[in-house]
Each structure stands twice: as C-alpha cells, then as structure tokens.
Structure 1
Amino acid sequence: MDDSNQAALSRSTVLVTGAAGYIGSHAVTELLRQGCRVVAVDNYSNSSSEVYARIERLAGASFVRAEVDVRDDAALDKLLSQHRVDACIHFAALKSVSESMAQPLRYLDNNVGGLLTLLRVLRKHGVQGFVFSSSATVYGDPVRVPVPEVASLNAVSVYGATKLMGEKILQQLTAITPEFERPWRVVVLRYFNPVGAHPSGQIGEAPRGVPNNLMPCVAQVAAGLRPKLNIFGDTYPTPDGTCVRDYIHIQDLVAGHVAALRHLLGDGASLTLNLGTGLGTSVRQLVETFMQVNGVAVPYEVVAPRAGDVAQCFADPSLAHQVLGWRAHHDLADMCRDAWRWQCSRPRSHA
C-alpha cells in the first residue's frame, strides 16, 4: 500500500449513494474505519436508516446522512453545496435480474437516469473521482470462464443492460474532457455475487419482502422464516445442473472499493476491474456448505429456471490484484458462517 495514497484517503470526504443498503452500509463502515469522512445518501427504497446507528457503533465515528433520491438533482445540489466531497462511490441502484425483466422502465429510470443526474451534480461541484458499482451481468452468458475484463459484453437482462449503459456513459466521460475542465477519473468495478455479512453480526443483507438473492433466502429458510428454498433449475450444463456463480464475501468486496478509491485519490488512471474470488460455486454447493458449516437444515425444491439467469459466470480477478494489490481472502465457509450469524441476530425479521 502506498503511504501517500493512504494519507490522501484518510483526509478525504466521500459521498456514498445507496449508503444504507447491503453493500453501502459495509462500505461506509470501512471508510470510517479508514479515517474518511462520509456523506451518506439513500432513499430507503430497499433499506432502512436504522442501520446507521449500528454503523456508528461499529466504526466509532459519526457521519453525515441524507434521505435523497439520486434522481433528485435539486436535493443533491443542495447537499453538495453544504458538504464538500472529494469523490463518490455510487451504489444506489435497483438490482434484481428477475424484477428488471418485469419492470424494465423502472430499472432504466432509476439505474440510468439516477446515474446521469448524479454525474451532472457532481460535475457542477467539481467532484470527478468516481467509483461505479457495476456487475458481472454485463458479460451476459460468457463464452468461457473464468471471465476476464476484456471478454465480450452482452447483457441478457434489463438489470445487466442498465449497468452496461452506465459503463458506456462513464467511458465517454473519461474519453472526452472539455477544455479547462478537470478530467473524470473513474474506476468501474464489475463484481460478481456478494454474500455474507460483517463478522460482528451487526450489519448484513436485509432486503425488504422476499429476497432476490440466494444467501438471504437460504438463511431465512434455515431460521424457519420461510418453508423452503426454491432452486431455479437443475438442468444447466454445470457439474450438478444448478447455476454456478462466483460468491464473494462482502468484506472482501468493500476492501476492493476502498482500494479503488485509494487509487483514484492517488491520481491513478481510470480502470475497469473484476472483483471476485475466481472460483465457481454452484447453488447446490452453497446450500450444502451452509448446512454443514452452521449445523442447520435448509429444505429446498427445484423449480423452473428464471428468465435472465445464465448457466455459469465466475471471475478472472487477476487484474485487480495486479493494479490495486487486492484479492479476496474469505472462503465459502466464512461467507456462510457470517451470513448465519447476521440472521441469528435478527431472527424474527424478514426485512
């Protein structure tokens, strides 16, 4: 780690959008732990402001928080007029593959429209260091795995398409700098399947209603909050017929974001990087590991495949290690153990 880059990080103020969400809450906790000042923004559409008190207890530091939708340019403008920030990490987005196929206009409005509004306001206030939360869904159904950053891009879901559109918008900004303007510097992080929770058990994934992601579904079934887990398809061309993904511990994921921010604050160049373990794990393997590690039962039923799901997708994360010195350290057992610890800290709640 470059000491000057770390010093720049600890002196910085970071705008975090989607700060009360699963990834955002863990990122805010780590940024505060690194000595950053944080301005947290969320509209609480799939989160709760209650997480902020737990973040402050974990980090031992307070931060600015605002209930703002990233599509609200007036509210964003007012916030940044009151709080000068050095960079932005943009998490705020709708993120369900299946839901995006049923509600495409809502996803385009929120994910693409919100990004454009945010960028306009950031530019007005001279903030042009930007970490973008992208997704492995931009690769679509990859021709080969592990997937490198140079693989062809062909999103097969509306959600993936919104992330790909976001990447293309940011590519244009970094390629064209009007005279007398500071150039945009952007790190696009294509991450795979975040799971797990903070090892304290104080914060974790807390979706409203029926979860769209696998791990919280598994944990809620194990806790008796739901009768069974649905596994969507078991005839994919994979070793056990279920989908194969690259599950990455949330703590490793946020460490990648902090490394990306440190890179930008040290005047590093714009980058696009994968964040993943480089290992493919099937849905059935994850469920069996969860049961074994935690000593619980997770009844499941195989049902029809979902629209937009691909058979297998896992990362080649070598470029992130080469450029940022980052790599994932937690294994699948850690992910399952921490997810269950989080679930057990809130056993009566689905949300």
Structure 2
Amino acid sequence: MSSLGVPPSGARGLILVTGGLGFIGSHTVVELQNEGYEVIVVDNLSNSSTEVLNGIERITGKKPIFENIDLREKAAVQNFFATHTDISGVIHFAASKAVGESVENPLLYYENNISALIYVLQELTKLPAANFIFSSSCTVYGQAEKMPITENAPIQTAMSPYGNTKQIGEEIITDTSKVSALNAILLRYFNPIGAHESAEIGELPLGVPQNLVPFITQTAMGLRQELSVYGNDYPTSDGTAVRDYIHVVDLAKAHVIAMQRLLNKKNTDSVETFNLGTGKGSSVLEVIQSFEKVSGQKLNYKIVGRREGDITEAYANTDKANSILGWKTQSSLEEALASAWKWEKKIRNK
C-alpha cells in the first residue's frame, strides 16, 4: 500500500491537472500517479515542454494522458469536458505566475488567470463530481502585519496584478460554491523550489527566470552573468527580503492529500483554505549562502534596487495543514537547493 493509502473504490475516475507540465503541476502528476490515480494533463506549453511527459514516465513508469489546450479558448474547454465526463476532480495550476511580469503586463495576467478559471469552473460544475483544488498563493495576504501568517490573516490589497488574480480567483470559487455542488480547497503556497530527487523533472523557466532559485542555479552554471538581489534595505536581519521556501515535492504531496480529502468527502466546508510552507523564513542572502554551501559554487551577485510588487517578508503558520490534512514538510532548505542544483546540472549535461 502507498504512503497515503490506495484511492478509495469509486474514486478512481480521472484527475485533471491543468498546467500539469509546469513546475508544480508536473511534480503533482508524479505524486498522483504514485498513489494510483489516473491523470489527464492539459497544458498550452506556454511555459513548459512535452519533454516533461517523458520525465514523468521515467519516474512513475506511466505517461499521463496529455492534451494541448489553451484554457482561454472557451469552446476548447467545453469540448474537452464534453469528451471527458468521468473526471472526478480538477487540480488547477494553469496560470501565469511572475510578480514582476504581471506588473509590466497586467492584461495578460487577468486574461490568463481569470478567464481560464471561469471556463473550467463553468464546465466542472455541470459534472456529478465537482471537486476542485486551486493553486493559490501567499501573495493574497500582501504584506501581512504578523508573522508567521495564518489562514485568518486579513486579505490585503494586492501588491501586484498576479496577487490580485489569486484573490479574485478565490472569490470566484467561493461564490460559485454557494450556488453549485462545487467543493474546493484553496492551497496558498509560499515559495516552491527544488526538483524531484531523480532529476527527471524540475523547474525549467522559458527565457530569463523570474524566480530566485532557477536564477541562482543558472548563474552558478554560467548561463547568467550575475544574480541580482533586489534590495538590501528591507527591515530584516540582513536587509534582504524574507520568504518561506518549500520543496516542490512536499508541496505536490499536499495536493494529493487535499484531493483525497474531497474525494472521500472529508471536507467540513464547501471551500477550505490551507497555507503550505515550512513555517520558516529565509532571506535572499541566506538562500545564496545555503546554495554556495551545498553546491561548492561561489555565486556572482550584486545588490540592485527593490523590485515593484515585492514585499518585505512572508512565512507561513502551517498548523492548520499539519493538523487537519496531516501534512508536514519533510525537506530542508539545503536539501531543496541541492535537488535544484542536481537538476540544473543534469539538464545542462554537466
């Protein structure tokens, strides 16, 4: 028997994973398949590649069903759901996700992150089983007044269009649940990093990385000349911004547990919310130092001005996920960084 238990009989229909070839999505597909679920992946390949399917197959021994669909195309979403009426649950990752880019191109973010969500929910709520996991974010809290952040922290005015799309997304799901049979879990993650221990899948952003760790690994590999550290005048221990960095495999496992909760009808509300993080904050300089320690590489970095949309600090109170979901992170910051470095070396054939 698997670590999470065999999926219950009657709950073996398809699990749809939108954006399932992306960073978090692909790791979640692996964990779902490891637990015996049938998975269908929808992705438009805007920030991913079909090569990820091969990585998933090498890890699990099974390639998920894949359809190349842009969820912004309403007719395509309708056709997909008309063909796949046996879907038991949806894990929705498909979205643009970079804070800085969202400030520069807000309309792209509103179209991609909101329209796709609406079209999926419109079709899902027509099915007998409307179980939905939403990939939300700690950005909904803005700059929280207290650390660590609990699920009861006030939702602040968003600091970026990206953060705003997550707030709006949560509101859309909550409103929909009031007038339909939708059951949803909102997972607010902090900062996912790392790669699968096999180094068969990991974070591979197209173009210049928007997130810290792939920029670190690409700089260490010599693909980037230097790493920019955005601001050293924050009111933190070393002046750099503090985040809660969680290993992507730990994060992926939480999605499987959350889906199982919905399939087994263990949820106590039609919409439940959980923070997913380690409960520990690390500054940008601490992450750099940890990476240098595990990799043996000296990083070339420089301090530059703050980036618009960035907050000072954010780290999670994970008591609710620990107690109700029975989920806890297993990997340390150093283990996560070591896995990211292993992945970077593998894809560059070093």
* Aligned twin of 1:134: 136
The CA deviation string for residues 258-297 of structure 1, in whole angstroms up to 9 with x for no partner, is: 1100100011223100000000000000010000011111
Kept in 2, the 8 Å contact 1:290–1:337? The answer is yes
The CA deviation string for residues 128-187 of structure 1, in whole angstroms up to 9 with x for no partner, is: 10000000000001101100000011121110000000001111122334xxxxx21100
Give the CA RMSD over aligned residues.
1.7
The alignment partner of 1:301 has SS state of: strand
* Aligned twin of 1:175: 178
**Superposed counterparts of 1:245-256, under 5 Å:** 245-256=243-254
1:12 aligns with 2:13: yes
- Shift in alpha-carbon separation, 1:316–1:300, aligned structure 2, 3 A: same
* Aligned twin of 1:45: 46
Distance 2:152 2:306 in 1: 28
Deviation at 1:227, TM superposition (A): 1.0
Deviation at 1:9, TM superposition (A): 8.8
* Aligned twin of 2:89: 87
Amino acid at match of 2:165: T
**Superposed counterparts of 1:16-165, under 5 Å:** 16-83=17-84, 84-154=86-156, 155-165=158-168
Deviation at 1:348, TM superposition (A): 6.6
- Select 2:220's aligned residue among 222, 229, 249: 222
The alignment partner of 2:57 has SS state of: helix
- Shift in alpha-carbon separation, 1:5–1:210, aligned structure 2, 3 A: same
The alignment partner of 2:54 has SS state of: helix
Deviation at 1:7, TM superposition (A): 2.3
Kept in 2, the 8 Å contact 1:8–1:266? The answer is no
Q: TM-score, normalised by structure 1?
A: 0.95
Kept in 2, the 8 Å contact 1:39–1:64? The answer is yes
* Aligned twin of 1:318: 319
- Select 2:200's aligned residue among 192, 202, 207: 202
Distance 1:266 1:189 in 2: 18
* Aligned twin of 2:257: 259
After alignment, is 29-38 or 74-83 more displaced? Answer: 74-83
Q: TM-score, normalised by structure 2?
A: 0.95
Deviation at 1:5, TM superposition (A): 7.5
Distance 1:20 1:8 in 2: 27
The alignment partner of 1:30 has SS state of: helix
Amino acid at match of 1:334: E
Deviation at 1:39, TM superposition (A): 0.8
- Shift in alpha-carbon separation, 1:341–1:8, aligned structure 2, 3 A: farther
Distance 2:174 2:327 in 1: 23
- Shift in alpha-carbon separation, 1:9–1:141, aligned structure 2, 3 A: farther
Kept in 1, the 8 Å contact 2:11–2:88? The answer is no
The CA deviation string for residues 183-223 of structure 1, in whole angstroms up to 9 with x for no partner, is: 21100000000000000011000000000000000000011
Kept in 1, the 8 Å contact 2:220–2:297? The answer is yes
The CA deviation string for residues 215-253 of structure 1, in whole angstroms up to 9 with x for no partner, is: 000000011111110000000000000000000000000
Deviation at 1:298, TM superposition (A): 1.0
Distance 2:3 2:280 in 1: 29
- Shift in alpha-carbon separation, 1:263–1:5, aligned structure 2, 3 A: farther
- Select 2:191's aligned residue among 190, 193, 196: 193
* Aligned twin of 2:229: 231
Kept in 2, the 8 Å contact 1:26–1:251? The answer is yes
After alignment, is 64-73 or 276-285 more displaced? Answer: 64-73
- Shift in alpha-carbon separation, 1:10–1:117, aligned structure 2, 3 A: closer
Amino acid at match of 1:118: V
Kept in 2, the 8 Å contact 1:73–1:121? The answer is no
- Shift in alpha-carbon separation, 1:100–1:8, aligned structure 2, 3 A: farther
Distance 1:197 1:130 in 2: 25
- Shift in alpha-carbon separation, 1:2–1:20, aligned structure 2, 3 A: closer
Distance 1:148 1:226 in 2: 37
Distance 1:97 1:42 in 2: 21
Kept in 1, the 8 Å contact 2:11–2:263? The answer is no
Structure 1 spans left out of the alignment, 5+ residues: 178-182
* Aligned twin of 1:279: 280
The alignment partner of 1:241 has SS state of: coil
Deviation at 1:81, TM superposition (A): 2.6
Percentage of pairs with the same residue: 42
1:339 aligns with 2:337: no
Distance 2:242 2:62 in 1: 39
Deviation at 1:121, TM superposition (A): 1.6
* Aligned twin of 1:328: 329
Deviation at 1:125, TM superposition (A): 3.4
Distance 2:29 2:319 in 1: 26
Kept in 1, the 8 Å contact 2:195–2:203? The answer is yes
Distance 1:100 1:88 in 2: 25
